[in-house]
């Protein structure tokens, strides 16, 4: 009988805390959002299930959890905590990204830069409410709307906040269709939303092959901290554009990115153990993350309006909102909001330019912040 | 047990004082300028690239795409035909070998 009572004390039912229960409910909400609303299902489903797994109470003497040295989950989480998975995801993103629209309209690259203002303004906000400079930099990068970059930088600067930052970044990426449209409509007039842009020109193969090499050199020399992210991004793109390494490009953009996404999503979810995750800091990170997204969207739209003051061929300012690098969701949102004003206006291809520029911009911003904080 | 664990490290400073102490303003401005400069340089390069390629046109090597490569004669025809031909060849070889 003693053995039975002893065993019952080790069960999850006995050890469950209100915090664990709350996190399991959050995990279920993520899974529901992924399945019912189709919000970033490839990320929210693994993260949601991982959250449930990470909040099942375990026995201290058994190495089971993400933070228990030697556990299986700990080995998987190694790829997150050491910043290995994000560059591998960037390799896949590079192998699937077509930079042609950006190459055909280079001024749209600046919109991707403008949207990164969210990162640096949020950094100030985080410092204001009492986070350390390293923590503030890791929180600010949420405004880049780039999950892998957020994980990479927080693993380097604030590993104790990694779970909260990753969950905030991916949650807001999933909520792009909810967060962005009101800001975009608020900052533009009906006439501006009706602006039609010239179709992109055809881009030669020479341009598409030279671009990843030259862009890598520029970014890596300006911000060496972004080397691993930017290097993998442009290496993946060169695999694609060279057309002589189709097998490698296919593996990078299909099997490899899928495997890494599964491991990353699941282990990030499993790292949200209530005792580590449910802190006042996490709530502040979520608040700052929302602010960061809103600022990034507004900065992109406002910068497009500013550019229109000097440009002869006007830009539809909605396109600026795609400067946040949630690829391709924010570009889709631009298309959706643009078509509400004019159902025949195709903005998607134009929005892809600042969208991919935003990926480059947020990786460079991460490199700059890393260099500044450790330098 | 409270829902929110209180394991936040004590922050020494907050408010404008914290921003000042961490050189927050300088980091934000410098960071924005660097990101802008990097992307502006990329934008400039992309803008110049077509003219650069046009100027270097005579010296540029032709880049043949693997996607554009002519399909070899052996692989022409619908896949079913190829499979049938391969099966026939295999049967003939097997038959000739007397196996």
Tens of pLDDT along B14-24?
A: 889 999 999 99
**In this predicted structure, what is the pLDDT of residue B91?**
60
Q: Is A133 close to B27, i.e. CB distance below 8 A?
A: yes
Q: Where are the alpha helices (DSSP H) in chain B?
A: 15-21, 24-55, 79-96
From A363, which residue of chain B is nearest by alpha-carbon distance? Answer: B35
Chain A contact probe: residue of B38, B45, B53 with most A CBs at under 10 A: B38
C-alpha distance from B60 to closest chain A C-alpha (Å): 9
Query: What's this model's pTM, rounded to 2 decimal places?
Result: 0.85
Q: Is B19 close to A128, i.e. CB distance below 8 A?
A: yes
Q: Is A133 close to B16, i.e. CB distance below 8 A?
A: no
The stretch A319-344 carries a mean pLDDT of 91
C-alpha distance from A242 to closest chain B C-alpha (Å): 8
Task: Using an 8 Å CB-CB cutoff, list chain A residues near B27.
Answer: 120, 123, 133, 137, 369, 372
**In this predicted structure, what is the pLDDT of residue B67?**
58
Q: Please choose, from the candidates A238, A233, A260, the residue with its C-alpha nearest in 3D space to the C-alpha of residue A249.
A: A238
| Spatial separation of the C-alpha atoms in residues A302 and A187, rounded to whole Å | 7
Cβ contacts of residue A60 below 8 Å, gap of 6+?
A: none
Asked if the model's pLDDT at residue B7 lies above 60, the reply is no
Chain A contact probe: residue of B11, B20, B31 with most A CBs at under 10 A: B31
Asked if the model's pLDDT at residue A127 lies above 70, the reply is yes
Q: Is A214 close to B4, i.e. CB distance below 8 A?
A: no
Q: How confident is the model at residue B83 (pLDDT cuts 50, 70, 90)?
A: low
Q: Does B55 touch chain A (CB under 8 A)?
A: no
Total residue length of chain A: 375
Q: Is A243 close to B66, i.e. CB distance below 8 A?
A: yes
Between residues A164 and B88, the one the model is more confident about: A164
Cβ contacts of residue B53 below 8 Å, gap of 6+?
A: A204, A206, A207, A210, B60
Q: Is B1 close to A109, i.e. CB distance below 8 A?
A: no
Q: Does A311 touch chain B (CB under 8 A)?
A: no
Q: Is B65 close to A368, i.e. CB distance below 8 A?
A: no
C-alpha distance from B83 to closest chain A C-alpha (Å): 23
**In this predicted structure, what is the pLDDT of residue A327?**
81
**In this predicted structure, what is the pLDDT of residue B74?**
45
User: Which tens digits make up the pLDDT trace of A93-105?
Assistant: 999 999 999 999 9
The stretch A82-97 carries a mean pLDDT of 94
Q: Please choose, from the candidates A135, A181, A150, A147, the residue with its C-alpha nearest in 3D space to the C-alpha of residue A47.
A: A147
Task: Using an 8 Å CB-CB cutoff, list chain B residues near A288.
Answer: none
User: Which tens digits make up the pLDDT trace of A128-137?
Assistant: 999 999 999 9
Task: Using an 8 Å CB-CB cutoff, list chain A residues near B18.
Answer: 127-128, 130
From B67, which residue of chain A is nearest by alpha-carbon distance? Answer: A243
Task: Using an 8 Å CB-CB cutoff, list chain A residues near B31.
Answer: 119-120, 123, 365, 368-369, 372
The phi and psi torsions of A57 (rounded to 5 degrees) equal -60, 140
DSSP at B2: -
**In this predicted structure, what is the pLDDT of residue B80?**
54
From B22, which residue of chain A is nearest by alpha-carbon distance? Answer: A133
Q: How confident is the model at residue A328 (pLDDT cuts 50, 70, 90)?
A: confident
Q: Does A209 touch chain B (CB under 8 A)?
A: yes
Q: Take residue A134 and report the two structure tokens written for it.
A: 């390293």
| Spatial separation of the C-alpha atoms in residues A262 and A270, rounded to whole Å | 12
Task: Using an 8 Å CB-CB cutoff, list chain B residues near A132.
Answer: 9, 11, 22
Q: How confident is the model at residue B6 (pLDDT cuts 50, 70, 90)?
A: very low
Q: Is the dihedral of CA A129, A131, A133, A135 positive or negative?
A: negative
Q: Is A130 close to B7, i.e. CB distance below 8 A?
A: no
Chain B contact probe: residue of A20, A104, A106, A146 with most B CBs at under 10 A: A106
Q: How confident is the model at residue A154 (pLDDT cuts 50, 70, 90)?
A: very high
Q: Does B26 touch chain A (CB under 8 A)?
A: no
Q: Does B20 touch chain A (CB under 8 A)?
A: no
Task: Name the packing angle between helices A147-157 and A133-140 (round to 10°).
Answer: 170
């Amino acid at each position: 009988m003693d053995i039975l009572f002893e065993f019952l004390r080790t069960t999850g039912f006995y050890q469950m805390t209100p915090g664990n229960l709350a996190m399991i409910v959050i995990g279920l909400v993520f899974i529901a959002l992924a399945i019912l609303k189709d919000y970033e299902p490839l990320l929210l489903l693994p993260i949601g299930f991982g959250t449930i797994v990470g909040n099942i109470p375990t026995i201290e003497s058994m190495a089971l959890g993400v933070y228990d040295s030697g556990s299986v989950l700990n080995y998987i989480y190694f790829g997150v905590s050491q910043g290995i998975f994000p560059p591998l995801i960037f390799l896949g993103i590079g192998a699937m990204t077509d930079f042609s629209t950006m190459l055909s309209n280079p001024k749209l690259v600046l919109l991707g830069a403008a949207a990164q203002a969210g990162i640096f303004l949020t950094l100030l906000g985080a410092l204001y409410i009492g986070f350390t400079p390293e923590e503030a930099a890791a929180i600010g990068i949420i405004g880049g709307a780039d999950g892998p970059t957020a994980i990479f930088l927080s693993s380097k600067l604030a590993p104790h906040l990694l779970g909260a930052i990753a969950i905030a970044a991916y949650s807001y990426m999933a909520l792009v269709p909810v967060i962005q449209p009101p800001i975009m409509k608020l900052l533009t007039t009906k006439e501006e939303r009706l602006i039609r842009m010239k179709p992109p020109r055809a881009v030669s193969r020479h341009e598409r092959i030279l671009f990843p090499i030259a862009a890598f050199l520029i970014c890596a020399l300006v911000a060496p901290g972004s080397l691993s992210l930017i290097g993998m991004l442009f290496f993946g793109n060169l695999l694609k554009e060279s057309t002589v390494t189709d097998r490698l490009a296919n593996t990078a953009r299909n099997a490899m990115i899928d495997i890494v996404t599964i491991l990353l999503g699941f282990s990030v979810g499993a790292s949200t153990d209530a005792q580590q995750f449910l802190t006042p800091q996490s709530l502040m990170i979520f608040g700052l993350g929302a602010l960061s997204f809103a600022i990034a969207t507004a900065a992109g739209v406002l910068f497009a309006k500013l550019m229109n003051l000097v440009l002869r061929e006007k830009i539809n300012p909605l396109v600026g909102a795609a400067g946040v690098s949630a690829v391709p969701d924010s570009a889709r949102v631009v298309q959706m909001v643009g078509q509400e004003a004019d159902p025949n206006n195709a903005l998607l291809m134009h929005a892809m330019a600042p969208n991919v520029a935003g990926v480059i911009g947020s990786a460079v911003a991460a490199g700059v912040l890393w260099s500044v904080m450790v330098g | 047990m409270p829902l929110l664990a209180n394991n936040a490290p004590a922050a020494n400073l907050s408010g404008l004082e914290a921003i000042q102490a961490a050189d927050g303003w300088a980091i934000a401005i410098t960071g924005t300028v660097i990101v802008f400069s990097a992307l502006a340089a990329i934008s400039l390069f992309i803008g110049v690239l077509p003219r650069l390629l046009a100027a270097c046109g005579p010296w540029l090597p032709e880049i043949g795409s693997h996607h554009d490569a002519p399909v070899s004669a052996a692989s022409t025809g619908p896949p079913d035909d190829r499979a049938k031909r391969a099966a026939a060849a295999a049967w003939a070889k097997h038959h000739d070998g007397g196996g």
